[in-house]
Structure 1
């Protein structure tokens, strides 16, 4: 059987593929996306994308040039992303949660010729140090980008004759282990993920409405919001909501059928259920990715809303999810089983398969694997061989074929000579009734030989740190964990540091303002 990419023609433009297929299927007047009080049909989307392509061409953007897009999830972002690909350029969406230093680095590293952003971001970034940047387009102001598009002639604009094997877009990693890395993806990549995950695994349908907490510049959000619903002719919601109350309001308003969440949001939605209950009546699928979902949150969600959370895991390098739990077959606390078309293995330090239950390194092979990291040959060589990637994750595979995340390679540490996974401890502490979020790290005082387990904890709304609560949390852990794994120190924080993609930023833990400190 041919692979997904082999079934595509060699001359292939992925923007035209998704847009034209919906027109050909008779979806012209079907809603493609909701944004505030506006809706855009597939016909309108198609027209705006072609207008964008023509507009970018008038600004001397050429094939293979990069265009940076620094916007929240708005129609302008969608038009610019697909419009750039349509005319053969390479869009580089930038997460608005990135720091100014990270954004300036990405603009320089990508050598973007055009930046599409807002007046507010333009002021923050002034002066923008890029010798390549020729034009700055603004979403707002005197001559907003959308107005420019409406002035373009409404005539067909032929797409660039690109190849399925050439770069279509870049995504930058979160930079939690150094400067962000530019991940180069091909025209075929989105089709592979849509076929393997959206269709074969999730079973997305034309009448679905997707809602994603993760934003478009995040690989998870790009699939959830842009190409996966388009692959089946479904609709999506464009929203910049990030807190539990706004998300609850959005779900009430748009009535999505598929909710793509992340662990911290599920925890926050549960934490406010007494004052702002979530209406899940429209939801047929709840998905989680980005980082490990604590089993206790999965169970609480099921008890509260009678919905399973289909957890999965993917990477920017593979574009979307390659391990997933299926509806009705979920195993809480695991990343699920391999998505069709992906070979996933846990191996030891010699590259040999680990027996069930043994922790090892995760290796993944699949068609959606990146071309490589931009200008990072050494890192590319270290991560890839053939179509296989060493992900840097520690996993185990159980006897039933479910994969369980044990932490990043650098997250595991030894206590009393025994390996400890912080996730195991965090999952127990999440079960404490007053804990909202927790991150466990090893610490030792200067000159100390012994490593101690430290838990950084943020509390549920209405809870206050106290010595009694510290004692309660430590006692709770000791009752359910081996003595050497139980935290000896609890530090309360307002919130845990996170990367631009919403993951806990373990390297920054300890730099927060500590509310209370206790040692037990």
Structure 2
């Protein structure tokens, strides 16, 4: 049987493929819900082609990189697909990124064009990238649709190949400067077929809602190309908090909800004042970081539905290891998605049997071409057709995989390995907390110890004895060396632009928080 890659024509433009596949039968169907707007598949197609003409007028050509620094909105969709349509390379930048990182990405990508809003552009302290020739501002003051109305659908799709560069995404930069991840025209087809269609079984009857933004690889699939692949509808949201998310669910009644672990925890935390009526949602999904088993069980108990957890990376574009609907195991990341080969290797490269912890290595056709201008990092990450993800896992006899920790998150105390995720889940299970993070910290003697940062559901000044209470509870549940020696109460944990706990920032600011 041919692989998905081999089934794709050598001459292939992924934008025209995704945008034209629904025109015959679904032209009048709503493709995008955004605020009070509804955009049909026919309107989406027309606006992308008009956007392609606008980009041509701005002297954007094959392989030129354009940075799209926009919130999730129709303009993002038009710009992304419009760039690929003409053979240019969109570079998506998350609006949650630090300004210094945004400025770095603009220069690192050597972007010829920046598409953004006036407020985001005004927020940049440096606007002098030597490669930037044009800035296109689109917002409520200068709506993109008004510019596009002057164009007709004339620009034909570029005659690209399945192996041409299609787009870039930047990593979250949690372990250093963000890295530009280069993806090719065939990669989105692979992920849509293997995961969206064959693993979670999206269909044209679905309405999709994702809390992950589109510049994040997880969100890009959820909101940009999965819906088009199966003919579904998608909700693009400007939700700023958990209450907005709940309101959106009640308003748009999605059937599939792509969430993040801390969003599920937050929904549970406000259930008494803003209960979620989830009768429309048939499938809840979680990715980006490990979902604590405690949150999974509380969700199942409260709502009677599973959370289908998976793991993906920017480098592999979307989820390659996943639970499947109706067969989810709390605490597990599931089994390999069909089309991906997963191995656990020891430090010498030997494959490990069930029950043994090793480095997660993934082989799949959506693997990035490489990191932009990062030869050494690319060589370290990729070996042939496989990639070391930096995650440590073990699998059970049934073939389910279990997350142990990131290589750079685990640490030793008195010669014993500490796995932060294990202690974090224990904190969430036995205390009334919204969130928790564990990192190493040095005591006055320079000895490494366990430090916990916790976020109570109600930080109302009544947490004076929380450290003693947590330590007392955990002593009966965990070995002594795993019990946090310091506990800090903070309002919320710092997170990266992709929603992961920013342990680097916690480490840099430790002791400056609010110790009990």
Q: Does 1:483 align with 2:480?
A: yes
- State the superposition RMSD in angstroms: 1.3
Q: Does 1:68 align with 2:74?
A: no
Q: Tell me what 1:358 maps to.
A: 356
Q: Does 1:47 align with 2:46?
A: yes
Q: Tell me what 1:258 maps to.
A: 256
Distance in 2, Cα, partners of 1:281 & 1:156: 44
Distance in 1, Cα, partners of 2:139 & 2:354: 55
Per mean C-alpha deviation after superposition, the further-off stretch among 364-373 and 122-131 is: 122-131
**Deviations 1:326-364 (CA, angstroms, capped at 9, x unpaired):** 111111011111000000111111111222222111100
CA positional deviation for 1:97: 0.4
**Deviations 1:446-482 (CA, angstroms, capped at 9, x unpaired):** 543x321111101103553533222111111111111
CA positional deviation for 1:438: 0.5
Per mean C-alpha deviation after superposition, the further-off stretch among 162-171 and 128-137 is: 128-137
Distance in 1, Cα, partners of 2:50 & 2:28: 18
Label 1:394 to 1:242 Cα distance change in 2 as closer, same or farther (>3 A). Answer: farther
Distance in 2, Cα, partners of 1:274 & 1:45: 40
Partner SS, residue 284 of structure 2? strand
Q: Tell me what 2:8 maps to.
A: 8
Distance in 2, Cα, partners of 1:238 & 1:388: 34
Distance in 2, Cα, partners of 1:189 & 1:31: 25
Distance in 2, Cα, partners of 1:462 & 1:209: 36
Please show how residues 37-116 of structure 1 align to structure 2 within 5 Å: 37-116=36-115
Q: 2:200, 2:324 within 8 Å by CA — same for their partners in 1?
A: yes
Distance in 2, Cα, partners of 1:86 & 1:509: 42
CA positional deviation for 1:416: 2.5
Q: 2:459, 2:491 within 8 Å by CA — same for their partners in 1?
A: no
Q: 2:53, 2:154 within 8 Å by CA — same for their partners in 1?
A: no
Q: Tell me what 1:338 maps to.
A: 336
**Deviations 1:26-52 (CA, angstroms, capped at 9, x unpaired):** 110011010000000000000000000
Label 1:118 to 1:337 Cα distance change in 2 as closer, same or farther (>3 A). Answer: same
Q: 1:394, 1:406 within 8 Å by CA — same for their partners in 2?
A: yes
Among candidates 505, 509, 516, match of residue 508 of structure 1: 505
Q: Tell me what 1:144 maps to.
A: 143
Q: 1:497, 1:512 within 8 Å by CA — same for their partners in 2?
A: no
Distance in 1, Cα, partners of 2:201 & 2:235: 19
Q: Tell me what 2:299 maps to.
A: 301
Q: Tell me what 1:241 maps to.
A: 239
Distance in 2, Cα, partners of 1:376 & 1:324: 29
CA positional deviation for 1:157: 2.6
CA positional deviation for 1:131: 1.3
Distance in 2, Cα, partners of 1:513 & 1:256: 43
Distance in 1, Cα, partners of 2:303 & 2:285: 14
CA positional deviation for 1:272: 0.1
Label 1:441 to 1:512 Cα distance change in 2 as closer, same or farther (>3 A). Answer: closer
CA positional deviation for 1:241: 1.0
Please show how residues 367-378 of structure 1 align to structure 2 within 5 Å: 367-378=365-376
**Deviations 1:10-41 (CA, angstroms, capped at 9, x unpaired):** 000001001111113x1100110100000000
Q: Tell me what 1:408 maps to.
A: 406
**Deviations 1:248-291 (CA, angstroms, capped at 9, x unpaired):** 00000000000000001000000000000011000000000000
Q: 1:311, 1:335 within 8 Å by CA — same for their partners in 2?
A: yes
Distance in 1, Cα, partners of 2:459 & 2:108: 44
Distance in 2, Cα, partners of 1:377 & 1:127: 27
Stretches of structure 1 that go unaligned for 5 or more consecutive residues are none
Question: Could you tell me the TM-score, scaled by structure 1's length?
Answer: 0.97
**Deviations 1:82-110 (CA, angstroms, capped at 9, x unpaired):** 00001110001100001111000000000
Label 1:465 to 1:175 Cα distance change in 2 as closer, same or farther (>3 A). Answer: farther
Aligned length: 515
Partner SS, residue 309 of structure 2? strand
Distance in 2, Cα, partners of 1:156 & 1:489: 64
